[in-house]
Chains A and B, each alone.
Chain A
């Protein structure tokens, strides 16, 4: 059992923030993906439901990412510096995605003059929603490979492109995208009480769920050669068998719940499954923040900073949790009317 140091507590909070971003913010990106793939006779209403569902909450959900970044540069500054240099290109592209997604969604909401204008903002919003999670996944996948260069050297391509433009990070990018789409589809089934719309998103949830499974398997196969840390963690470690049973069981539970149209149960099981997928990666590379050398202890800021940040986090969560609860109670306690 590792010692509960302030650095470890903050690292845990960092993972909590990322997990919250995945299950809340990730689903908002997934909503954008389903906006892009809205089809059939109800496509207008699908889009309206998505907009109604993410409208009041996406900006709050987005702040989890800010919180994670701030924790990283205040408490683990060498990690922030190294990732910022080596992953400059995917991070910049991700930022462009974040800017376009947020602005285009807001512009579409308030610029409802003509269908054509709306459609254009909508396209920008949905394409940005699709690209951004892929890039987030690529960044995470690159970290897991342990090949983030300490000091970039060689040609520009070798130093700034090759570390992330490889099969494993790309597979994680697709996995992240599928997860976002999967979560969004599952959530959207409980956002409406119209059985037809529910069925639309039920089918989409199945499709995205299969996508999650395939992407995860491809990533695992690639990990065997390219990412020993992940491969060993998920197959050979002491916790691996139990982990596989629980994640697999949750996936089956979500699918069974969707099959029987018990949407509220799927709504609970799917995000737990997503958090566990993230948690699996975290367990594989514990105690490294960036393998092969930056551990939690090695990268941690001085104790004075860590203790103060812990106090600030405590205070912050005392304000934040009831506020978030209030927000979700107002907007998520009954289905949307579209």
Chain B
């Protein structure tokens, strides 16, 4: 493994690990404050138990997210010093703002987690709302910085150096809006479906359990609407990519030849050498419609991109298919849940529905990972699209395979620990003693 590949692997692995915790850090506080609000309005102790357990879950996930995020902020320099020296002053503003959003999130999470007995109900709930809002803002700021790497603006190149630096223009880069919306919705969909799925599994085992019923409802209220909204945001993102990163779009769609009235290629295995995609389904005109909103529009293919600027077509295309496929599955279940709710059918008793939601447990997260594969692998060979190649940004330090393997091992161990903890502390059905505690009246709102 050469050093460039090792550096890319370490960065990719660190991001893939961190993003799970970042996504939960956005979605979970919302679930937690919804449960607490329901407790404050209904006095139902089950909601308090839910809020407390979800708060524990948030605490565990936030802590690992915070430390793995710290690793990333250093890795930007440890692995890509040339990139950071070039880009820091241009795209750094969102990171400064993220620093403060993260600060506020950490402060109010501390208040929320340790303040159950020290704060009156409303103040405690408000602290939770601050956590939910600043968590979403943190994510948005980081994604803005990533969007800049896809559609860099806010500077002019002069003799290989950036001049006329305008950090505001860099913040409002073309991809910023679509990418942040797409990611934020994805965070709610992934968390909502993962939590709904876990409680659906437990409901299948213990039908009618009041704890899991309430958890399922709140989780679907977050995950369902997000899943239904996501295709709209996805469509905007695709049009953005078609306009600013035609090579990435061509790789996503395995679109080798530039043509008008281009068909949409679903599935299949693209072969970079022959420029053919085998075993695929083709829908006439559809790619032109999706990319440019016109069935006759010309869609740029990889033939217009110099061969040494192609991303890995196979990986990008397959990741994209996986993301869209998983998203479609979640939409079906979100729609089904909405239909059952509309018909006033108790979906917590509907075993067929529960089985489907159970199956969807990991799907949101897998879709998030696949989506990041699309956007990051699709940008290659560039680290800053059209401006700096990844190979030119890597550190001169040799032996990078060592830290790559070391962090991989570390993160694998952390994953095992987190999964074990989440199961034992958060998802498990309440015991008999828990139930006794839950139904012992607790004074609300001092």
Contact = CB atoms under 8 A, between A and B. Distances in A.
Interface in A289-338: 301-302, 304-305, 308-309, 312-313, 315-316, 319-320, 323-324, 326-327, 330-331
Interface stretch (A84-92, A182-190, A236-244): A84-92
A203 interface: no
Contacts of B166: 304
B81 A56 contact: no
Nearest to A82: B81
Interface in A67-116: 67, 69-71, 73-75, 77-78, 80-85, 88, 91-92, 95-96, 98-103, 105-107, 109-111, 113
Which of A65, A330, A331 has the largest count of B CB atoms less than 10 A from its CB? A330
B66 A56 contact: no
B399 interface: yes
Interface string B414-429: 1001000100110000
Contacts of B260: none
Interface residues of B, number: 64
Contacts of A100: 410
Contacts of A78: 85
B169 to A, nearest CB: 10
Contacts of A88: 78, 395, 397
A152 interface: yes
A106 B106 CA distance: 14
B324 interface: no
B104 interface: yes
A305 B66 contact: no
Contact of A80 (B68, B84, B97, B425): B84
B77 A80 contact: yes
B63 A66 contact: no
Interface stretch (B86-94, B290-298, B357-365): B86-94
B421 A111 contact: yes
Contact of A312 (B67, B78, B97, B108): B97
A88 B425 CA distance: 37
B88 A80 contact: yes
Contact of B395 (A69, A84, A102, A103): A84
B339 interface: no
A66 B417 contact: no
A62 interface: yes
A194 interface: no
A288 interface: no
B276 interface: no
Contact of B96 (A55, A80, A106, A313): A313
Which of B86, B89, B110, B406 has the largest count of A CB atoms less than 10 A from its CB? B89
Given A74-B89, A74-B92, A308 B107 contact: no
Which of A66, A78, A319 has the largest count of B CB atoms less than 10 A from its CB? A66
A196 interface: no
Nearest to B95: A70
Interface string A42-57: 0000000000000111
Contact of A59 (B66, B118, B403, B425): B66
B96 A316 contact: yes
B104 A77 contact: no
Contact of A102 (B63, B115, B403): B63
B47 interface: no
A302 B67 CA distance: 30
Given A66-B69, A316-B99, A320-B104, 8 more contacts: A56-B113, A59-B63, A75-B88, A95-B71, A98-B67, A99-B68, A111-B424, A320-B100
9 contacts: A65-B70, A74-B89, A81-B82, A81-B85, A91-B78, A96-B410, A152-B397, A301-B165, A313-B96
Interface of A: 55-57, 59-60, 62-63, 65-67, 69-71, 73-75, 77-78, 80-85, 88, 91-92, 95-96, 98-103, 105-107, 109-111, 113, 151-152, 156, 160, 301-302, 304-305, 308-309, 312-313, 315-316, 319-320, 323-324, 326-327, 330-331
Listed from nearest, the 10 A-B pairs whose CB atoms lie closest are A74-B92, A84-B77, A301-B89, A106-B63, A316-B100, A77-B88, A81-B81, A56-B114, A81-B85, A56-B110
Interface of B: 56, 59-60, 62-64, 66-71, 73-74, 76-78, 81-82, 84-86, 88-90, 92-93, 95-100, 102-104, 106-111, 113-115, 118-119, 165-168, 395-399, 403, 406, 410, 414, 417, 421, 424-425
